[in-house]
Amino acid sequence: MTAPLPDITTREDCERLVRAFYGRAMLDPIIGFIFVDVAKLDLEAHVPKIASFWETILLGAQSYGGGAFRPHAVINAQVPLRAGHFERWLWLWRTTVDELFAGERAELAKTHAERVARAFHARLRMLDAPLAAGELPVLTITRHGPEP
């Protein structure tokens, strides 16, 4: 019998999760090139930022300032991010979470990633779509979670 997996409880857990995810995502045959060749991601600079993002969502820290969407709009201008890219991202994320952690926070890490992916994809489609005559552009700003 292997020991049951722990839940995500510390920033170190968030970092471990994020490192494991990027280790896999950067080698991925479907989306790896976006991190490696398009964004030329500096992992050491990136990991603390993404760990803060998850620490804010999962552990109630307020270490992430927001604005996660914008860099994806920049990437999307170079490589259009399609539903299949988001599906792959989510599959890699769920697989990594399930390999390392189990529990309420681990579940939240998976459901919140799905919400964000859906919102990002919808916003990108809106940016890409030409407006019909007379139609007004819509930008939804979400602000939620505990009050600062």
Residues in the site for ligand HEM, rule: CB under 6 A? 31, 34-35, 39, 41, 49-50, 53, 56-57, 64, 66-69, 71-72, 75, 81, 85-86, 89, 112-113, 115-117, 119-120, 123, 142, 144-146
**What is the C-alpha to C-alpha distance for residues 131 and 27, in angstroms, rounded to an integer?**
37
Determine contact, residues 18/47, Cβ cutoff 8 Å.
yes
**What is the C-alpha to C-alpha distance for residues 97 and 88, in angstroms, rounded to an integer?**
14
CB of 142 to ligand HEM, least distance (A): 4
Q: Which is nearer to ligand HEM, 17 or 116 (CB)?
A: 116
CB of 36 to ligand HEM, least distance (A): 9
CB of 134 to ligand HEM, least distance (A): 25
CB of 96 to ligand HEM, least distance (A): 12
Q: Which is nearer to ligand HEM, 3 or 96 (CB)?
A: 96
Q: Which is nearer to ligand HEM, 42 or 135 (CB)?
A: 42
Determine contact, residues 72/32, Cβ cutoff 8 Å.
no
Determine contact, residues 128/93, Cβ cutoff 8 Å.
no
Q: Which is nearer to ligand HEM, 126 or 131 (CB)?
A: 126
Could you write out the DSSP letters of every residue in 79-115? S---HHHHHHHHHHHHHHHHHH--SHHHHHHHHHHHH
Strand, coil or helix: 143:
coil
